[in-house]
Every structure is written in C-alpha cells, then in structure tokens.
C-alpha cells in the first residue's frame, strides 16, 4: 500500500539583532525575496496565502498549517495561480493585517537560516532554522547576534504579528 508522508515542518526560531542586509546578500548561496502573506478565516487550522517576489519571478502559494508541538506542525503548502491567489482574498480574516517582510535564506551547515526582516522593527529580526527532527542538533550561525530563542512563543508567529506587533527588545 502506497502512503503519502505527512508534510511535517520542524523549526527553531530566534529573535536576532537586525543584520546588515547587504552582508547577508553577499554571502554565498543567499537568496533574498520579498514576501507578502495574508491570513484566511479558518477555525481548524492556520490558513494563509503568500506572494513571494524573486529577482526573476513571482510565486503564489496557499498553506494550511496545524501545530503538533512547539517546534513542529503539519504543513500542506502548494503553488497556486495569481487568479487563485486573488480568489482566496475573498476569505481574508478581517482581524489580521497583511505581513510584509524581506526573507534572506542563507545556507548554514546543511540547513538554511531564514532571516525575516520586517518593516515595523528597526533593531531586531527573526531567524528560523528548519530541522530534520525535533532532536536535531545545530550550531547557530556565527553571522547573526541572537537575542533569545522564541521557538514556541506564539506572540512572534507571523499569524500573531498580523494582529499585534510586540515591542522591540
């Protein structure tokens, strides 16, 4: 019997000091994209649409996410068309604002450090590192200054940020 594996995303998240974006861009393998994401009305999962602008193309995605622990969630994400993206906007959650950010993805010791820079903060940003499992051990990148780990702190999730932005540390 063929089974489709459950798409589980496991990550650790950190509040970091605002990095020098030009230094990040200059790092080997770094890819920076502009992201706009919106949250949809859904009582059973976190549902979002995302527009991601690369240097040479724009990609639209739809994501359903269900948290299964502080580090992991089941994530069903797939690419959609611009028309589908626009159609999903009819279901926007009116209590949430759109989130805009610059994401710089930097290869780091077999992982990727995804650094999200938001326009509403001047001194801090968020870094996520996806793991293979919750007990995966990683060395934290030496090119960022960690303020503190925020894995499991829902007030720093993008969904929460779309409603209320915590003050800078």
Q: Is the pTM of this model over 0.85?
A: yes
Q: Provide the CATH number for the domain around residue 111.
A: 2.40.320.10
Mean pLDDT, residues 38-54 taken together: 96
- Residue 168 covered by a domain: no
Task: Report yes or no on 169 lying in a domain.
Answer: no
Q: Residue 124: pLDDT band by 50, 70, 90 thresholds?
A: very high
Task: Summarize pLDDT for 68-89 with one digit per residue, the tens.
Answer: 898 899 999 999 999 999 999 9
Is 112 among the domain residues? yes
Residue 150, domain extent = 8-161
The share of the chain scoring above pLDDT 90, in percent, equals: 82
Residue 167, in any domain of the structure: no
* pLDDT tens column, 112-121: 999 999 999 9
End-to-end CA distance of the chain: 52
Distance of CA 39 to the CA centre of its chain: 13
Question: How many domains in the chain?
Answer: 1
- What is the pLDDT at residue 81? 98
DSSP string, 29-77: T-EEEEEEEEEB--SSSEEEEEEEE-SS-EEEEEEEEEE-SSSEEEEEE
Inside any domain, residue 1: no
- The residue to which tokens 């610059």 are assigned: 102
Residue 2 lies in a domain: no
Nearest to 33 by CA among 9, 10, 59: 59
Q: Is 86 within the bounds of a domain?
A: yes
- Tens-place pLDDT, residues 15-38: 999 999 999 999 999 999 999 999
């Amino acid at each position: 019997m063929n089974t489709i594996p459950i798409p589980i995303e496991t990550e650790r998240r950190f509040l970091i000091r605002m990095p020098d974006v030009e230094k990040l861009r200059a790092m080997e393998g770094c890819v920076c994209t502009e992201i706009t994401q919106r949250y949809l009305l859904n009582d059973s999962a976190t549902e979002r649409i995302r527009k991601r602008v690369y240097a040479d193309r724009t990609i639209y995605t739809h994501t359903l996410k269900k948290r299964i622990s502080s580090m992991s969630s089941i994530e069903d994400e797939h690419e959609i068309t611009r028309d589908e993206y626009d159609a999903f906007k009819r279901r926007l959650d009116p209590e949430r604002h759109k989130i805009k950010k610059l994401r710089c993805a930097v290869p780091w010791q077999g992982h990727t450090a995804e650094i999200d820079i938001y326009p509403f903060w001047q001194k801090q940003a968020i870094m996520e590192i996806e793991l293979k499992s919750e007990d995966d051990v990683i060395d934290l990148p030496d090119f960022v200054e960690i303020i503190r780990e925020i894995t499991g702190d829902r007030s720093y999730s993008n969904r929460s940020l779309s409603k209320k932005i915590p003050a800078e540390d």
